[in-house]
A and B are shown apart, each in its own frame.
Chain A
Amino acid sequence: MQDFALLRHITIGQYLPGDSFVHRMDPRAKITVVLLLSLALTVNTSYLANILLLALCLGLIRAAGISLRYVLSGVRPALPFIIALSLMQLAFYGNPSVTSRLPVITFLRWGPIFITSSGLQLVLVSLARFVDLMILASILTNTTPLAHLAYGLEDMLKPFGRLGVPAQEISLIFILALRFVPILAEQLETLAKAQASRGADIGAGGRWRFWRTARAMLVLIVPLFLDAFRRAEELIVAMEARCYAGGRGRTRLVQLRMGWADGIAILICALLAVGFIWFRKSFPF
């Protein structure tokens, strides 16, 4: 029956209360830092840069007081896909596609299969990037209540309001989605139990049997969507009854405050990001 706890494996997006420096940072500062570091990650393909960035991410995770194990346990459901993708990259991406100062060594060439040291580097760098991004996303969401993240995003998008970006609405949609995650998860569990009690084979597929799992999920997804639509209708009526008339003229209970420590954190990360991007071709290996 443990398979019914479907959201158990998802570690991104679970707020873990704490009192570290990272927890106390302004959500806007955290979003900025994560964006900057993600940018640095995506343009660096050398081994050394990725080792440094991985070390940096591990340092951040320590500073936030989250266990690396917890973050990585979230990868488990995606593991089959990651392995399949890595194997395909290794087998078919032999042509030098990463900028590297290392000589390209061909390991195997047989029909369409073409394995080189450059392909291997692509695979390893991709894996490191994946872990880095997981860590950054986890740091953002595990240390910030998600509603505050939405408010941070709203405040950051507000200057673009004149260009027609509906910051208030985007943030409200995000918050409503969050609000309904536990409700729909509970509904999904109820549905799963109802279908299982009528003989459906839910949770029997196992991690490596995608087709069976997917088919078993179908009998849950369709009623879940119907339920979500019904809830959405009721929610709209309830919001209208509480005078909701779009984002214009709304005020907000939660006000965010940026401190000097937030500024310093942004500055350091901005310098690091610029450095990594500027010198991306200068790393020795």
Chain B
Amino acid sequence: MDDILIRVEDLHFAYRAGEPDAVPALNGISLTIRRGEYVAIVGHNGSGKSTLARHFNALLLPTRGKVYVQDMDTSDPRHTLDIRRIVGMVFQDPDNQIVGTLVEEDVAFGPENLGVPQPALAQRVEKALQAVGLWELRHRPPHLLSGGQRQRVAIAGVLAMEPACLVLDEATSMLDPASRAEVLQVVRRLHTAGTTIIAITHFMEEAALAERIIVLAGGKIALEGSPQEVFSQRERLRELRLVPPTPAQLAEAVQARSGVAFSPLPLTREALVEAVHAHAVPLPAGGRP
């Protein structure tokens, strides 16, 4: 059982719990995240996805039910710092999570809080900045970096704490497409290197990159499975007001028009290109058809 990193048992949470104007946000969620997994949590606004994410590192504590990180109960204050070191979190707005006035000083903030002494501290900073490809920019002030670079600084700041798991709480939603691709590339590389990734997102293209998708609606798990399983349930997705990734939509449109079935459903650009290529008629010799 020790490959389970996070265990959530019948989690209920309400903002202003116990008061007459309490707002229930999570209504009985149970799930497990295994070590090394890449999980996407999706759902439209107000579905409770960010609230759930904040239970993974004890930023919020359950009103009812339990959350365990490596078998440590998040509601036990003695474990809070250990849990936050193990489960690092990157937030939406890079500006509001960068603390230092220079890139390297910001990356050092986490390990400084953990009391890591020199020279291990400097080594951690270097390793984290190398991992996100920003070592050359370590002496820059963060406000002179692009959005994507700033978000990579934020990721490096979390990596410097050497976490087992990275939670991305809509970490790409304020970025332009090029910056988003930049950040996702770093995330994929970290996952390949063994880091557990939990991506909270409302971009379905991004969710399709994960190994498992958890769809939340009304504070409950509405749908769960591999991207293939989730995105092939068209009716259910429509009820949940979620739109599959563009390649899947295109494939379905072609399917409806021509009767050619795509199996499996292509979810990424590359998969769609491959699927279309398989059906394409080769060009006649001489070039033009």
Residues of A within 8 A of B (CB): 145-147, 175-176, 178-179, 182-183, 186, 231, 234-235, 237-245, 249-255
Contacts and interface: CB of A to CB of B under 8 A. Distances in A.
Nearest to A187: B95
Contacts of B158: 242
Contact of B95 (A145, A231, A245, A252): A231
B125 interface: yes
A243 B161 contact: yes
A253 B84 contact: no
Given A241-B89, A242-B84, A147 B157 contact: no
Contacts of B93: 234
Nearest to B96: A234
B118 A243 contact: no
Contact of A178 (B57, B97, B101, B108): B101
A231 B92 CA distance: 12
6 contacts: A147-B101, A238-B96, A239-B109, A242-B109, A242-B161, A243-B110
Given A231-B95, A234-B93, A237-B59, A175 B101 contact: yes
B97 A238 contact: yes
Interface in B73-125: 81, 84-85, 88-89, 91, 93, 95-102, 104-105, 108-118, 121-122, 125
Given A243-B110, A251-B117, 6 more contacts: A186-B143, A231-B96, A237-B59, A238-B91, A241-B89, A250-B112
Nearest to A249: B115
Given A234-B91, A250-B115, A251-B115, A240 B84 contact: yes
Contacts of A253: 104-105, 108, 112, 118, 121-122, 125
A13 to B, nearest CB: 12
B100 A175 contact: yes
Most-contacted residue by chain A among B113, B114, B125 (CB, 10 A): B113
Nearest to B157: A242
Contacts of A146: 101
B97 A234 contact: yes
A245 B82 CA distance: 12
Contacts of A252: 108, 112
B98 A255 contact: no
B118 A145 contact: no
Interface in B233-266: none
A245 B85 CA distance: 12
A43 B281 CA distance: 93
Contacts of B161: 242-243
Contact of B112 (A231, A240, A241, A251): A251
A176 B99 contact: yes
A234 B154 CA distance: 14
Contact of B88 (A234, A239, A241, A250): A241
A254 B111 CA distance: 13
Contact of B84 (A147, A243, A254): A243
Most-contacted residue by chain A among B99, B101, B115, B116 (CB, 10 A): B101
A252 B99 CA distance: 13
Contacts of B85: 243
Contacts of B115: 249-251
Nearest to A180: B95
Given A146-B101, A251-B112, A241 B59 contact: yes
A251 B57 contact: no
B152 to A, nearest CB: 15
Nearest to B109: A242
Nearest to A231: B96
B110 A147 contact: no
A103 B12 CA distance: 84
A251 B116 contact: yes
B96 A182 contact: no
B95 A175 contact: no
A234 B85 CA distance: 19
A238 B121 CA distance: 20
Nearest to A234: B96
